[in-house]
Structure 1
Amino acid sequence: MTQQGDKGRVLIVEDSPVIAVDAEQRLQDDGWFVVGPAYDMDQAIDLAKREQFDAAVLDLNIRGEKSFAVMQILHERNIPFLITSGYADWSMPEEWRDRPRLQKPYKLGSLVGAVCELAGADQPSDG
């Protein structure tokens, strides 16, 4: 059995506490150390600037504000990230269109698999 954090560190930026806690628990169960979750943009920007992590999961819309500022920080730090959203219309600036995405609601196994792929870690044993 892996210990918490064996696979690396992942930042979660998600304004829904239910989704954030579920994602955090599932990632921890798979051996990740979770940074955050950040529930608002100020906290997300702060964590993106000062913390060390191997990958990030960003909700596109955090309390009515797009998470583009966090994306820019992660891009500048060469940290891979995944964008999630519950909106059917994913209008994105050109610079972020090639980033991996997950449509909400997503299966937690899909989230873990995507994070593993981003960070180059072993895939979860349960798929």
Structure 2
Amino acid sequence: MTETPRLDGLRVLVVEDEMMVSMLIEDMLADMGCKVVGPASRLDEAIALVGDAELDCAVLDVNLGGQPIFPLADILREKGAPFAFATGYGDAGLRDVDKGTPVLQKPFRESDLARILSELRAKVG
């Protein structure tokens, strides 16, 4: 069993509408030493958090109860905050502008999340 890399102090916005999945992501982040921003389960909640909270990066569920996450992705991109999408559909449901953004294929393991967050951390200025 490999040890999960430490990402101490990395502030990660979690946007996920399924409570159990959100709790699982929060636990994984805690294991890595990250600080959870949110979580948010609705788009308006997430947009408010981005305006108020300090964050380094984000993990975004692509579909929040039928509402696409893309307006938030646009805000994060504008702010220069790196993010990854979490989805069961791979990059099939992404817009052209989002192609090349890291994607966590649901269901994912802690090691997958750690790898993506390490990539995002490298982009944090």
Query: Residue 80 of structure 1 aligns with which residue?
Result: 82
How far does residue 88 in structure 1 lie from its aligned partner after superposition? 5.7
Query: Residue 28 of structure 2 aligns with which residue?
Result: 26
Query: Residue 103 of structure 1 aligns with which residue?
Result: 105
How far does residue 89 in structure 1 lie from its aligned partner after superposition? 6.9
Q: Percent sequence identity over matched residues?
A: 38
Contact 1:49 1:73 in 2 (8 A): no
How far does residue 57 in structure 1 lie from its aligned partner after superposition? 0.2
How far does residue 7 in structure 1 lie from its aligned partner after superposition? 3.0
Shift >6 Å, 4+ stretches: none
Q: Which amino acid aligns with 1:72?
A: D
Query: Residue 95 of structure 2 aligns with which residue?
Result: 93
How far does residue 35 in structure 1 lie from its aligned partner after superposition? 0.3
TM-score by length of 1: 0.85
How far does residue 28 in structure 1 lie from its aligned partner after superposition? 1.1
Query: Residue 54 of structure 2 aligns with which residue?
Result: 52
3-state SS of paired residue (2:86):
strand
Structure 2: 5+ residue stretches without partners: 1-6
Contact 2:91 2:103 in 1 (8 A): no
Query: Greater shift after overlay, 88-97 or 11-20?
Result: 88-97
How far does residue 77 in structure 1 lie from its aligned partner after superposition? 0.6
3-state SS of paired residue (1:71):
helix
Are residue 40 (structure 1) and residue 42 (structure 2) matched?
Answer: yes
3-state SS of paired residue (1:110):
helix
Structure 1: 5+ residue stretches without partners: 122-127
TM-score by length of 2: 0.86
Query: Residue 115 of structure 1 aligns with which residue?
Result: 117
Query: Greater shift after overlay, 56-65 or 83-92?
Result: 83-92
